[in-house]
Amino acid sequence: MQDLAILVPSCLNYSDAWQPFMKCLEKFWPLRTIPTILVTDFIYKKSTWNGEYIVVHNRDYGWCENLKRGIDGFKQFRAFLMLQEDFFLSESPDVEFIKFAVAKLLEDSNIGCFRLYPCPGSDVEIGEKRYGMVSKKAPYQVSCQAAIWNPAYMNKLLSLGPGPRDFEVLGTRYCSRTESVKTLAVKRDSPKPYPIEYICTAIVSGEWQKSALDHCKNLGIDVDTTMRPTT
């Protein structure tokens, strides 16, 4: 999968999630050959990122512009698997399905995104057992949940507003009136585990979720809990 990279948009305020994110990735995907790219505004010298690439802007342009500028330097990748920094893997990914999803996206330029985690899932049947299409009327045709992205399509959505909320809401409005754009997604009632299974999400409203900390503890992964409270 030399065409694919894992893209992790983040910022200094969430740097406490970087190490457990990577530890979970290494635990459940030990033979991973796909490089990771962290895009962040700032970084502490003491912060740990064990991935292959990191883009540090040393200023905050806003979530969307940070990410847009970050991926601009990685044109060698024709697809991105976007994961948030607090998506801690909990199962081994279905690598064969991920390869399939990348191939589908690359063979059809009208597929902007192939969602691997059904939040939300597809709502239009297309004759496939495990996945379908997301309708134009779906409230979240664009979502920040785990998905394979066409970089050109992602860039278009990142130009619509400054934050992740704009990316989802304004992106959905854009997609609803752009007939050529297709979003595929795993069905919610498809057999589990889904192609990507993870703690969704480890940090809510700025607080660590106890379930995420318990997950890391069970795996022997240390988490810095000094930066934020725990729910």
Q: Walk me through the domains of the chain, giving residue ranges and CATH numbers.
A: 4-205 (3.90.550.10)
For residue 60, pLDDT beyond 80? yes
- The pLDDT mean for the chain works out to 96
For residue 111, pLDDT beyond 80? yes
User: pLDDT value at position 48?
Assistant: 82
For residue 46, pLDDT beyond 80? no
pLDDT digits (tens, 9 = 90+) for 63-97: 999 999 999 999 999 999 999 999 999 999 999 99
Say if residues 10 and 85 touch (Cβ distance below 8 Å): yes
Residue 149: name the closest of 1, 39, 2, 5 by CA.
5
Contacts of 204 by beta carbon, 8 Å cutoff, 6+ apart: 231
pTM for this prediction: 0.96
User: pLDDT value at position 130?
Assistant: 97
What percentage of residues in the chain have a pLDDT greater than 70? 100
- Give me the mean pLDDT over the 150-162 stretch: 96
CA distance 106 to 156: 17
For residue 186, pLDDT beyond 80? yes
Peptide bond into 201 cis (omega under 30): yes
What token pair was written down for 51? 């991935």
